[in-house]
Every structure is written in C-alpha cells, then in structure tokens.
Amino acid sequence: MNTFFKTTLCTALVLCLPLTAQAHRAWLLPSATVLSSDDAWVSIDAAVSNDIFHADHAPMRPDGVVVTAPDGQILQVQNAVTGKYRSVFDVQLPQKGTYKIATASSGLMAMWKTEDGERRMWPGRGEKANPADFDKMVPKKAKDLEVSQFSRRMETFVTSGTPTDTVLKATNQGLELVPVTHPNDLFAGEAATFQFLIDGKPAVGVKVTVIPGGMRYRSKQASIELETDKKGNISVTWPQAGMYWLSAIYRDDKAKKPAKTRSGSYVATFEVLPE
C-alpha cells in the first residue's frame, strides 16, 4: 500500500465521527498559509480535540503525513514532536509555489455476527487490511454481514510566493476536494468555490460543514452547513478573516465488489485573509 494511504487508527476513526457539539475532531493547523520569505518554513499543529484548533484531547501522530511540493516531489516533515495533546512538526518550503500537507487512508471494512451473536469486524482494531485476505478472513455467509469501501482524507495547503496548482489536481481516489478557487487565495467577504469528487467523479449531495476557529470563545459553533450540487460544487462566502475547519461526509451504494456501500470523509484547514 502506498505510504500516502497510511494514518493512525485514532485519526481514521475520528474523521468519521458525527458533527455533534461533543464530537472529537481531527485537524492540521499551519502557523501560516501564505509566505513570501526566501527561506520559508511553516509549523503545523496536529491534534484531535473537542474544540476546533484547541488541543484538549489527543495528539495526531505525524507518521502518516505526506508533504507534496509544487513540482510533485515528496518532502519529509522535520522536527516532529508528539506531546500529551498535540503533535508539532515543521515543513521547509524550498521551492516557490503551493504545497499540500495531507494524510489519508482507504480500503475495505467488514462487520458481521457469529452464530452466538457476537460482533466481529475485519480488519481488527489497530490492524491494516490486506484486500487479498478478504475471502480468507470474512465469512461469505455470515449473519448481518456488512462490507463497505471507505476513504478518509485530511489536508491543508501552504504557498510560498506565487500560488501554483500542481498539488491541487485530483488523485481520483476516494472523497477529495478539488479547488476551483485557490485555497491560498481566500478573503473575508468573498465567495470561494470548491468541487468534491468521489473516485474521480462529481460527488452529489456531500454534506459539508465549515466552522471558524476560536469556537472555545463562542457560545455557538457558528457553523456553515452546505451540500454539493449536481457538479459536486459548493460556494462558501467567508464571514470574517481567520482559520476555518471544513468537514465533508459522503455515502452511496456504488461500491466495488465485494463492498455494498461506499463512504468518504474529508477534512481541511483554510486560512481566510482580511479584505
């Protein structure tokens, strides 16, 4: 399996949690997303928390994070440290252009009951599924057998100098966001358009939630609820400058066999600049 499709089990499970006031949510938070210095660096906080961008629950380990440079080269994270509530790592930006900092996973998941009524799942908690083992590990005639195809993706974008679009191109794997408006060209009071794809095709009816940072200091989440149109697009008008957390969830019955359902989750952090 490609290293891009590896992440910790904790993060993978969090990305599928419902958006309730008490839900734990994972995020990557860059210190800045637009830089102009010749020796540009950015620091990233990575955590799973109750409040957006406030580390209060568990760290998200940086092992599965992949940094893609403007020319497509894969870079290593640097100075990674994992603490009680968050991980921190640095990314050097040696080239001018836009970088993608991301983690993702995809695969098959099966759940069923034994003759005694006990719940079973494959792969087990903390295990990595090998699709070649499916027929051996999952009973074909198991009671209440549910097989699903899933994808999870979390990312943020950082630009040094002039924005570029190489890292914005679709991978055609799972649920992903393809920016129509460049993710590092966002301004308060202006509308941005994003397209969602599922396995390379427009994802219709994706439920999208956008929450501004600083929710610890508000009595309400101040969330923006959206749904993609027939082209898979949404339009977001940013009410104010600051960091924003975007979450999207999708599910349908167009999975590849042996799966019967297909689901995808997507999370991103965007910085919106003043007018």
The residues, ordered by sequence, that sit 6+ positions from 105 with a Cβ below 8 Å of its Cβ are 5, 6, 7, 12, 64, 151, 152
Which pLDDT value is given to residue 173?
A: 94
120: confidence class by pLDDT, cuts 50, 70, 90: confident
Query: Tokens 């630009």 appear where?
Result: 159
CA angle 5, 186, 19 (to 5 degrees): 55
What's the mean pLDDT when you consider all of the chain?
A: 89
Q: Which two tokens stand for residue 236?
A: 């977001």
Query: Quick check: 4 pLDDT over 80?
Result: no
pLDDT score at 148: 87
Eight-state DSSP code of residue 128: P
Residue type for position 10: C
Beta bridge partners of 70: none
pLDDT of residue 1: 40
For 124-138, the pLDDT digits (tens) are: 876 777 777 788 888
- Once rounded to an integer, what is the mean pLDDT over residues 247-263? 91
* 217, β-bridge pairs: none
Alpha carbon distance 65, 110 (integer Å): 26
pLDDT at position 108 is: 85
- 11-15, 45-49, 141-145, 250-254: least confidently modelled range: 11-15
How many residues does the structure list for the chain?
Answer: 275
Euclidean distance between CA atoms 107 and 126, whole angstroms = 14
Bridging pattern class, strands 58-59 and 40-49? antiparallel
Each residue of 213-229: pLDDT tens digit?
A: 998 899 899 999 999 99
Burial class (CB in 10 A: 0-12, 13-18, 19+), 191: exposed
Nearest to 269 by CA among 235, 242, 232: 242
State the Cα torsion 272-180-100-212 to the nearest 10°.
Answer: 30
Residue 99 identity: Y
Bigger pLDDT: 13 vs 214: 214
CATH of 3-106+149-272, one of 1.10.760.10, 3.30.590.10, 2.60.40.10, 3.10.20.30: 2.60.40.10
Look at residue 126 in the predicted model and tell me its pLDDT. 67
User: Any idea which of 11-20, 108-117, 236-245 has the lowest mean pLDDT?
Assistant: 11-20
Task: Tell me 63's DSSP state.
Answer: G
Q: Give the pLDDT mean for 65-71.
A: 97
Question: By C-alpha distance, which of 247, 241, 242, 240 is closest to 264?
Answer: 247
Neighbours of 226 (CB within 10 A): 18
The whole-number average pLDDT for the span 19-34 is 79
What pLDDT does residue 23 have? 65
Distance from CA of residue 140 to its chain's centroid? 32
Question: Residue 29: is its pLDDT beyond 90?
Answer: yes
Position 109 scores a pLDDT of: 85
- Which of 4-18, 59-73, 115-129 shows the lowest per-residue confidence on average (mean pLDDT)? 4-18
Q: Where in the chain is the domain with CATH 2.60.40.10?
A: 3-106+149-272
- Which pTM was predicted? 0.86
pLDDT score at 144: 86
Percent residues over pLDDT 90 in the chain: 68
